[in-house]
Amino acid sequence: MIVWLNPFSGISGDMLLGALLDLGAPLDGVRAAVARTGLDGWELTAEPVTRGGLAATRAVVTVTDTATERRAAELLARIERADTGVAAAAVRAIADVEARIHGADPTEVHLHEIGGLDTVVDTVGVAAALDLLDVTEVVCGPLALGSGTVATRHGVLPVPAPATAALLAAAGAPVVGAGDGETVTPTGAALLVAAGAKFGPLPAMTLRRVGYGAGGRDPHDRANALQALLGEATGAVERLVLLETNVDDVTGEVLGHLVARLLDAGAADAWLSPIVMKKGRPAHTVHVLVAPERAPACERLVLAETGSLGLRRSPVDRAALPRHTSTVEVEGYPIRLKHGPWGTKPEHDDVAAAAVALGLPLREVTRRALQI
């Protein structure tokens, strides 16, 4: 399933959780995931409210320990008991940007306004809700970004908060102005990054449900809610960008490293072709297939890692068939499976890791994963 988010009034952890609950994520299932963290003294409720005349769900988190400052490592220790994916990645992303902003070690950095235990409930709750809704892809429209200032432990800081701005810049997120006040929180931005959100218009899909997650405030001039559309992917033509450059002075090790970094940065695909350049020089063409909004970040990576003085950019259309991912276990080891209209394929890295741990051939682990 695909969920498309329309943050016309911004996004926060509780707004995203409320929207997913409004889409039908079972509250009991989300609570069960939070309970696995071992956290005490918390409560999560889903309240029906209206925002600007829209019926919405507000995720209300209450904790008995109301301290808002903790080391990021303390929150991670809680989260990792129940989730090693989206929730943990979100807190790590916040810790990393806070460490860079304040010149601290990410393992020791203190989270101030977002260091409360409610952050555990929000992040683990969102991760669980995405899983319970069988969401395999998150797409987000332009984020309505506020302005002004906010009072923090470090004094008055600009809005968007420095951590929020850094997270959105790293993700290449499109933003639009939304007047005064904080509309996008660090937790909301970090959850988008951790969920691997793509940024762009509503993708081609068969729409199944629509939900709204309410923010805490109810201003008179704007419906303070996050719209979420849930649907099934349909075959569609995607408009992508093809980046290419020729290099004859870069080692294979560097090129292999570059391909891995490009894929981590969100490229749809990256590959190398051997070529012969002038004077018979053996060389390579670096190819990168990427969504337009992620193209600038990938361009910077290619130029920085190869030292090339330029590259070519071409618009391309890609026919994309519907696909989804599931996870099975072979002798206790998780194996992700990619499902398409014409077959299923296990993730090689997962198969390889399980094969080494179990002392089995790759083909045997593959066979077992496909039989489950």
Q: What is the pLDDT of residue 149?
A: 77
Looking at residue 111, its pLDDT comes to 64
Fold category of 237-320 in CATH: Alpha-Beta Plaits (3.30.70)
Over residues 47-62, the mean pLDDT reads 94
**What DSSP assignment string belongs to 319-334?**
EE---EEEEEEETTEE
| Backbone dihedral angles phi then psi of residue 37, each to the nearest 5 degrees | -75, -15
Confidence bin at 140 (pLDDT 50/70/90): very high
The pLDDT assigned to 41 comes to 87
Query: Comparing 19 with 113, which gets the higher pLDDT?
Result: 19
DSSP for 6-18?
Answer: E-BTBB-HHHHHH
pLDDT in tens, 15-52: 999 999 999 999 999 999 999 888 888 899 999 999 98
User: How high is the pLDDT of residue 108?
Assistant: 63
Domain ranges of the chain: 2-233, 237-320, 324-371
Tell me how far apart the alpha carbons of residues 297 and 124 are, in angstroms, rounded to a whole number: 29
The pLDDT-based confidence of 115 (bands split at 50, 70, 90) is: low
Tell me 196's DSSP state. T
pLDDT, tens digit (0-9, with 9 covering 90-100), for 72-84: 777 777 788 776 6
Has residue 106 got a pLDDT over 70?
no
DSSP H or E stretch at residue 43:
strand 42-51
Q: Distance between CA 362 and CA 366 in Å, rounded?
A: 6
Write the DSSP symbol of residue 233: E
Start-to-end CA distance of the chain, whole Å, equals 21
R_g of the chain, CA atoms, integer Å: 22
Residue 97 has pLDDT above 90, yes or no: no
**Closest residue by Cα to residue 133 from 44, 10, 16:** 16
Res. 110: pLDDT tops 80: no
pLDDT score of 63: 87
Rounded to 10 degrees, what is the CA torsion of 110, 174, 120, 28?
180
The more confidently predicted of residues 251 and 117 is: 251
pLDDT at residue 272, as a whole number: 97
Higher pLDDT, 238 or 291: 291
Cβ 288 vs Cβ 242: under 8 Å: yes
Which of helix, strand or coil describes residue 41?
coil
Q: Which residue has the higher pLDDT, 276 or 104?
A: 276
**Hey, what are 329's tokens?**
């276990």
What percentage of the chain exceeds 90 in pLDDT? 60
The whole-chain average pLDDT of the chain stands at 89
